[in-house]
Amino acid sequence: MIIRELMTVYPICIDINANMRRAAEIISIAEVSDVMVVNDKRHFVGVLSEGDLLRALLPDFEEVLKAGGTLSGAFSFFVDKGERLANRSIEPLVITDCITVAPTDQAAWAATIMVRKQIRRLPVVNENGLLVGTVSRGDICRAVIYNAEAYE
């Protein structure tokens, strides 16, 4: 079975020039843990994870102490920092050295990579560098079970 047969063809994407506010909106609305980052020609650039976005917004220990060292003070500082960074570019947070798969790659190979590297979703990129989809662990599980039922 090849990736093209089971991939999600409408991946959740964001433009490399987007800001942190837009990234937070997309991640929240789409209920995903990462978004594919593309340029204006839909060429794949990298991945932005919700964890990396959150880490960029979290205050560090020194900042918490400056805010008074209390949980409510830390949360206030967290919100203030979010407001300050909301219009900053996502570009510094984007993971650009990503593992990608091609639409013609074998699903078993992608599954092996995902398990070994603890990756939940891989970008599917064609020979021209265009993002054409994503494949997740769930996509592969669904395809395996569907095919197992077909053989019964």
- Residue 49 neighbours by CB under 8 Å, 6+ apart: 33, 34, 95
pLDDT of the chain along its 152 residues, tens only? 899 999 999 999 999 999 999 999 999 999 999 999 999 999 999 999 999 998 887 766 676 666 666 666 667 766 777 777 778 999 999 999 999 999 999 999 999 999 999 999 999 999 999 999 999 999 999 988 876 555 55
Domain extent listing, the chain: 3-151
- Is the domain covering 3-151 a CATH 3.10.580.10 domain? yes
The pTM of this model reads 0.83
Backbone angles phi, psi at 39, to 5 degrees: -95, -175
Cβ-based burial of 86 (10 A; exposed 0-12, middle 13-18, buried ≥19): middle
Beta pairing partners, 23: none
**Cβ contact 54:36 at 8 Å:** no
Please report the sign of the dihedral spanned by the C-alpha atoms of residue 113, residue 92, residue 53, residue 48: negative
